[in-house]
Structures are given as structure tokens and as C-alpha cells.
Amino acid sequence: MEITVVYEGESIQLHVTKDFPIRTLVALAHEHLRKADDEEKNSLDLFVNSKSIEFNDTTTIQSLGIKQGDVISFGPSDYNNAKSPYVSPPRSPYTTLDKVQKQALQSNLKTGVENVPESFNTTGMAYIRLAINGVEVLTLVDSGAQVSILTSSAAKKCKVKDLIDPRWKEKAVGLAGKSVDALGTIMYCDIKVGEQTLSGPLSVLNPSVTEVDLILGLDFLFRYKAVIDLGKRRVTFDDGEPIEFLTEEEALKISAFKVEED
């Protein structure tokens, strides 16, 4: 349906659906029409055809009984005593809701770039350099992983593939809820971290599941009292020497093992 939104003598015509939230309409109107300061915005009331209306986060166009051609306006509580706000024509013959939303998105982008510019750069992953049987493996420190995972190709390269016990098969569940059955578990494996040695079980999965050789999950992180310092980009195990996260360039030099499976 088509409605007219009026604020401070300026107006726009919008195409909206019946279930469109009033709260969103208010935000779009403030963004597109003449801007008020924050205090003034908070004190404005909503009027439909000059009748004061109360609304909340669940109020929609339909729940207020707004119909095609109705006029929605914003003003102070004594709005009805003020002069008619309809003296000015629309600032453009026709403005679509899509245009208003695009303007709101652009304004929000500008605010984001100005206030949190670092968020618009690629965030490096928490990669570290570990070793199994003296073979360097690209490792991701992942506090979102319940168990630690080694790829079967890395297990082969590190000569621990014969230790994979097929009787113990963990089920890995990804972000989208997709589950992957493990090939088995290495029940005890030593991992060299700097001058320290971490030991524990590793679930073994097909290398297609992850882009790294090893995912160090919560089982190891809890066992060795890991402290992840994102500000300094490093992780510490058992009060040992901090292990610096690798840069993307350093991580690329330790490319994950992609070998043919037997």
C-alpha cells in the first residue's frame, strides 16, 4: 500500500506492506526527512490522520488499521494545536521505501567506517605453529571446537596414522548443523608447542573438512589452562611462554598437508 509520512513540513510517499513494523518506519523517516537532535527525536509522538497513536516494537501497519492513502506524521504532544504540517509538497514526486532503506544503510556504513574502521579489514585467524613427531603442522586455536581435530593427511605426514583407533569415532558438527563422522581417534598424541609438550586425544577427520592440519579445541585449551590474548594476538599454555599468532603471510608458508589418501 502507499502511505504519506510527514515530519516538520516535509513529506515522502512510501510503498509498505501491511506487516511492516512501525518502529522501523519511524527510524526510516528520521533518517530520510529533516533530522532532529536525539532529545527531540525521543519526545516526538506518532499521529495517524492527526490522531495520536501509541506504539511499541511489535506494532505494525496492519495492527494500527492504517489504510492506503493514510497520512502518518511526527510531532510534539501539542501537535494538533500546531499549524498543519501538510503545507509543503513532497521533496520528490515519489520516493520508494527501497530508496529510503538504501540511504539508511549508507548512513549506517558511514558511521561504522568512522567509528570502527578496523572492523572493515580482514581479521586474521588464530593460527599457530605446532609440531607432531618433528613435523610442523598449521594449527588453528579454536575455542568454538569441543574436541581437537587432526586431518588424516596430516596424520599420515606426521607418521601417526597407524595410531588411529577406528573404534572411537567422534561426530563433528559444523556451524550449519552439518555433521561429519570422524575416521577414528588417536587416543594419545604428543604435540610440541614451543618448548612445551601438550598431550591428549585427537579426532581424525578427512582433510576436506578443514583448511588446516590441526584444530586445537576446548579439550586441550581447558586441560592446559590456555589464555587467549586477542589484544596481543597470542596464546599461553600452563603459564608457559606466549605463542604468537601467525600472520596470514606466515600461515600461507605453512600450507596444510593435502596428500592422496590410501
DSSP sequence for 113-167? HHH-GGGGSPPPP-EEEEEETTEEEEEEE-TT-SS-EEEHHHHHHTT-GGGEETT
* Per-residue model confidence as pLDDT tens digits over 44-101: 677 777 777 777 878 888 888 888 877 777 665 544 444 444 334 444 444 556 676 7
Domain ranges of the chain: 2-120, 127-253
Contact 23, 55 (CB under 8 A): yes
Closest CA to 182 of 167, 196, 172, 195: 172
Of residues 166 and 71, the one with the higher pLDDT is: 166
Q: What is the pLDDT of residue 76?
A: 58
Which residue among 37, 57, 78, 142 is the active-site one? Answer: 142
Taking the whole predicted model, whether its pTM rises above 0.85 is answered as no
Instruction: Fill in the DSSP letter of residue 256.
Output: P
Which stretch of 1-10, 11-20, 50-59, 184-193 has the lowest confidence by average pLDDT? 1-10
The predicted-structure confidence for 223-261, as pLDDT tens digits, reads as follows: 999 999 998 999 999 989 999 999 888 888 876 665 544
Two domains, one topology: 2-120 and 127-253: no
In the annotation, is 142 catalytic? yes
CATH topology of domain 127-253: Cathepsin D, subunit A; domain 1 (2.40.70)
* pLDDT for residue 44: 62
CATH code, residues 2-120: 3.10.20.90
